[in-house]
Amino acid sequence: MSHNELRRHIVAVPFRPFVLHISDGRTITVHARDFIMISPLGSTVDVYQPDEEHDILASGAITGITFAPPPLTTADQPSNSN
C-alpha cells in the first residue's frame, strides 16, 4: 500500500477507524486520525494507541487495511412487530 493511499484514509471525512495489516502478520488499529502520522517523504508511519504506546513502521511493510463494519442504527435493526 502506498503512503498516498494510506493518507487518503487518514484525511477521509468522516474518518473511519481502520486496521493496518503488516507484512509480519501483525495488525495495528488506527483509532483516530490524530493517532497516525506519515513521515514527510512517506518512508515511515508512526501509529499511536490510546495508552500512548506506539509503533514506528516502514511504510512498505503495510500490506493493506480493513475497516470494521459501521454499527447498526435503529433504522437498520429488524423490527419486533408480530
Q: How is residue 14 written as a grid cell?
A: 468522516
Q: Give bridge partners of residue 27 from the DSSP assignment.
A: 21
Whether cis (ω within 30° of 0) applies to the bond prior to 78 is: no
The three-point CA angle 8-9-13 to 5° equals: 90
> What is d(CA 31, CA 51) in angstroms, rounded to the nearest whole number?
12
pLDDT of 11: 96
- Mean pLDDT, residues 52-79: 82
Domain ranges of the chain: 3-67
pLDDT one-digit tens code per residue, 12-62: 999 999 999 999 999 999 999 999 999 999 999 999 999 999 999 999 999
Taken in order 66, 72, 76, 78, is the CA torsion positive or negative?
positive
CATH number at 3-67: 2.30.30.100
User: How many of the other CB atoms lie within 10 Å of CB of 18?
Assistant: 20
